[in-house]
Chains A and B, each alone.
Chain A
Amino acid sequence: MSDLIAYYTAHSDMVFTAIQEHILISLTAVCFGFLVASPAGIALTKHPRTAAIVLGFFSAVNTIPSIVLLGVAMMILGIGFWPSTAVLFLYSLLPIMRNTYTGITGVDEKYIKAARGMGMSRVQILTKVQIPLALPVIIAGIRLSAIYIISWATLSAFIGAGGLGDLIWMGLQSYNFNLVLCGAIPATLLALAASGLLTFAENMASRTLHRGGDAA
């Protein structure tokens, strides 16, 4: 243990850079995932039949082990940041899209009727009623995505994307377990932090709802 701490203090720069790379890869993938998947999830609520097909397709994609798609992406797109980010982006879509879809379709019909009765337009109903009510579920989807992506980003080091997986890989190859742990421990903490942060956001979103929405 003291061995590990000594190793870490001697190499803290390297670990820090790896953490930054890791955050950058994960954040890019999840942000793009969110930008695509949440509008897509909302759009799908208008087309239930297409929704079944699209969500089914992405659940099939998500059952494929990540190293497979990372490997294929490397062969086609080469090594580096973008091929692995592209694969992680693909994986981040399903949880966000599915939760947006179930969140919005799960909004009780009576609220929508009430909003329509108040003369709200479709866009107003979506932005002022449906999205706020579905927000906790949508955030839960983002949390799921983020946890997966942080985990799988450790694998993307194997196709040259850098990040904490790099330290794990270098350590494994040289039987340097201090180095391996310098990758594995921050990766775990990062996943736990992201999970904690988004759980907090989720709770905040549902609390805001219950405070303002008791009239419902």
Chain B
Amino acid sequence: MSLATALFTHLEMSFLGVLMGCIVGILLATLLKDKAGASKIVFTVIDIIQTIPTLAMLIFLMLVFGLNNTTVIIAIFLYSLFPITRNTYVGLANVPEGVLRAGRGLGMTNLQLYLRVELPIALPVILSGLRLAIISALGIATTGVFIGAGGLGMLIWRGIQTRNMAMLLSGAVPVSAMAILFEILFTYIEKKLTNRTSQKRKGEL
């Protein structure tokens, strides 16, 4: 497997998993808004998922989905739920009441209010959750090699097995560089957006 293919597979698995996490997580957080009881239950479940060791999670999913990339994508999806749902929930909960009233006063419907006021104000917090999700996704995708998935983990693992430092680094450098790059990029965007809206909110990850 060439470096380019490995890189592509790695990114594909990470992005697909996080994308699913975004869709489900943001929807879930939106539905849970103002429902304290239900939120408590859902967050406890997501918290437990988050605590399961990566390799163990891959093993459990492997028994259902088999030895392939799909298993890794599902694992990434499950792990991305925590940062994305949590941060979206916190972001939406912290939209100032006055802004909502102003929007309503302008005659906005609930949907307009959500899309044009609440989501944009919550965006920096949501992005910070997305950043955590993507970075952990890159790591999970690397671990995927143990259950037969492709990606850069394969090069790293081959390097470890053959004690070939060059081979190991050919997988390790791109994966670490991507992680650090995403961290810097997202932190930058968050800072830009946060300056435009307001300070860090309580309970944000």
Q: Are A188 and B160 in contact (CB under 8 A)?
A: no
A67 touching B142 in the complex, CB below 8 Å, given contacts A59-B183, A72-B168: yes
Q: What secondary structure prevails in chain B residues at the interface with A?
A: helix
The CA-CA distance from A180 to B147 in the complex, in Å, is 11
Residues of chain B within 8 A (CB-CB) of A165 are 55
Residues of chain B within 8 A (CB-CB) of A168 are 55-56, 59, 146
Stretch of A10-18, A153-161, A208-216 that contacts chain B: A153-161
Closest to B145 in A: A67
Closest to B47 in A: A195
A67 touching B59 in the complex, CB below 8 Å, given contacts A151-B53, A151-B54, A191-B53: no
The contact of B59 among A64, A66, A180, A191, by CB within 8 Å, is A180
Q: Are A63 and B56 in contact (CB under 8 A)?
A: no
A66 touching B139 in the complex, CB below 8 Å, given contacts A71-B160, A71-B168, A71-B172: yes
A174 to chain B, nearest CB (A): 14
Residues of chain A within 8 A (CB-CB) of B135 are 63
The CA-CA distance from A172 to B54 in the complex, in Å, is 15
Residues of chain B within 8 A (CB-CB) of A63 are 135, 138, 176, 179-180, 182-183
B163 within 8 Å of A (CB atoms): yes
B137 to chain A, nearest CB (A): 10
Q: Are A172 and B147 in contact (CB under 8 A)?
A: yes
B163 to chain A, nearest CB (A): 7
The CA-CA distance from A180 to B57 in the complex, in Å, is 12
The CA-CA distance from A13 to B101 in the complex, in Å, is 64
A8 within 8 Å of B (CB atoms): no
B63 within 8 Å of A (CB atoms): yes
B175 within 8 Å of A (CB atoms): yes
A192 within 8 Å of B (CB atoms): yes
The CA-CA distance from A20 to B30 in the complex, in Å, is 43
The CA-CA distance from A68 to B139 in the complex, in Å, is 9
Residues of chain B within 8 A (CB-CB) of A75 are 163, 165, 168
The contact of A184 among B51, B56, B138, B171, by CB within 8 Å, is B56
The CA-CA distance from A71 to B147 in the complex, in Å, is 18
Q: Are A64 and B179 in contact (CB under 8 A)?
A: yes
Which chain A residues in 112-158 approach chain B with CB under 8 Å? 147, 150-152, 154-155, 158
A interface residues with partner B (beta carbon < 8 Å): 59-60, 63-68, 70-72, 74-75, 147, 150-152, 154-155, 158-159, 165, 168-169, 172, 177, 180-181, 183-185, 187-188, 191-192, 195
With A168-B56, A191-B52, A192-B51 given, name 12 new contacts (CB 8 A).
A63-B182, A63-B183, A65-B142, A65-B143, A65-B179, A67-B142, A67-B143, A68-B171, A68-B175, A150-B53, A151-B52, A177-B63
